[in-house]
Amino acid sequence: MVKVLRSWLHRYFSDEQAVVLAVLLVLGFAVVLTLGGMLAPVLTGLVLAFLMQGLVNGLERLKVPQILAVWLVFALFLGGLTMFMLVLMPLLWHQLSTLFNELPRMAAEWQAVFLLLPERYPSLITDEQVVQLIDSMRGEAGKFGQWALSFSLSSLPMLVSIMIYLVLVPILVFFFLKDREQIGQWFRSYLPRERALITQVAQEMNQQIANYIRGKFIEIIICGVVTYIAFAFLGLNYAALLALLVGLSVVVPYIGAVVVTVPVALIGLFQWGWSDQFLYLMVIYGIIQALDGNVLVPLLFSEAVNLHPVAIICAVLLFGGLWGFWGVFFAIPLATLFKAVLNAWPRAEPVSAE
């Protein structure tokens, strides 16, 4: 056993650069796992700056001075943030509070529908099953009400956290954009001089992760806006709230679209029943999902690394369980990083027994 372990260590860790890369990866994951909560504003600012760096580079290629390009992109970011806080957030909050107020009426209507099922389909469902279903729904509604109450009672600390983010994150974004070269030089000064392997992995991942994150952000915006326009045109209630859910659903491959279909269908059924309007809603929603999967995704992610669907789902489950929303968002880049490290990792030839 010792001989096998020694042979394995010699094969995969005989290169000094491989050891350094392994240490950096372990330290990076350890910092995020242990200090991620405290460093959340820094990590958020870093991600947002990474998203906007492409715009800065584009302006610099047009001969715009670097500091002016940073200020222009930062002003665009502040304008978008202001628009989100003053226009979109009040609309979403209004629709969310209206939905909460409508939930008891919706539940009563569904209860009346369920009570008619044993009369219409006596061979398929019994009165006892309907009673159990209604009791289960009431229990879940009670849990949801307790969660809503606890959420409202803890809203003050949450508001304080939001204010901290609104102050710190824009400042961090600006300095990450403005001083990216100085920050990069400072970080590289602590790395060993011989770092060809680290440079190879970093260059490969920088391009791939940048393409993925920016593409995913654009996909969220396009899907959300198009869905809102379509739902508002149909006159669907809670159009902005549902459009936000549809936009965020693209973060979770394969699973997100299926999950968000449920609230879209339920709201449509409550509003129109089994009517032509409901059919139009589901057809238009299906067209949006089809265009997203077959047109938009290939255009935005033409250079994405090919990952097997099983690997993607496992990455979403693993990193989502570790880091929540951000873990889901970065699941594919992290899986791509893991794959790139495996492909670039130096391997010594195994020593054959004489």
Q: Give per-residue pLDDT as tens, 32-69.
A: 777 767 777 888 888 788 878 888 888 888 888 888 99
Predicted pLDDT at 54: 80
pLDDT confidence of 14, banded at 50, 70, 90? low
Question: How crowded is residue 118: how many other Cβ atoms within 10 Å of its Cβ?
Answer: 17
Residue 227's pLDDT band, with cuts at 50, 70 and 90, is: very high
Opening angle at CA 340, ends 193 and 187, nearest 5: 35
- Categorize the per-residue pLDDT at 354 as very low, low, confident or very high, splitting at 50, 70 and 90: very low
What mean pLDDT comes out for the span 75-84? 88
119-166 pLDDT, tens digit per residue, is 777 777 777 777 777 777 666 666 666 665 565 555 556 666 777 778
Alpha carbons 157 and 192: distance in angstroms, whole number: 43
Q: Are 64 and 72 in contact (CB under 8 A)?
A: yes
- pLDDT at residue 71 in the model: 92
3-state secondary structure string across the chain: CHHHHHHHHHHHHCCHHHHHHHHHHHHHHHHHHHHCCCCHHHHHHHHHHHHHHHHHHHHHHCCCCHHHHHHHHHHHHHHHHHHHHHHHHHHHHHHHHHHHHHHHHHHHHHHHHHHHHHHHCCCCCCHHHHHHHHHHHHHHHHHHHHHHHHHHHCHHHHHHHHHHHHHHHHHHHHHHHHCHHHHHHHHHCCCCCCCHHHHHHHHHHHHHHHHHHHHHHHHHHHHHHHHHHHHHHHCCCCHHHHHHHHHHHCCCCCHHHHHHHHHHHHHHHHHHCCCHHHHHHHHHHHHHHHHHHHHHHHHHCCCCCCCCHHHHHHHHHHHHHHHHHHHHHCHHHHHHHHHHHHHHCCCCCCCCCC
Mean pLDDT of 66-78: 90
Of 326, 328, 307, the residue nearest 252 (C-alpha): 328
User: pLDDT band at 257, cuts 50/70/90?
Assistant: confident
The band of 214, judged by pLDDT with boundaries at 50, 70 and 90, is confident
* Confidence (pLDDT) at 148: 58
pLDDT tens string 320-346:
777 776 777 777 777 777 777 776 666
The tokens for 101 are 């107020």
Residue 70 predicted with pLDDT over 80:
yes
In angstroms, what CA-CA distances link 200 with 82, 182, 340, 341, 346? Answer: 39, 21, 9, 9, 12
pLDDT tens-digit series, residues 176-205: 888 888 888 887 777 777 667 677 777 767
The reported pLDDT for the residue numbered 75 is 92
Q: What mean pLDDT value characterizes the chain?
A: 77
pLDDT in the model for residue 1: 66
Q: How far is CA 216 from CA 48, 248, 311, in A?
A: 13, 10, 18
Residues 266-307: tens digit of each pLDDT: 888 888 877 888 899 999 999 998 888 777 877 776 555 566
- Which tops the pLDDT comparison, 239 or 105? 239
At residue 347 the predicted structure's pLDDT band, cuts being 50, 70 and 90, is low
254: left (phi over 0), alpha (psi -120 to 50) or beta: left
pLDDT exceeds cutoff 50 at 353: no
Q: What is the pLDDT of residue 60?
A: 87
298 C-beta neighbours (distance < 10 Å), count: 10
Whether the pLDDT of residue 229 is over 90: the answer is yes
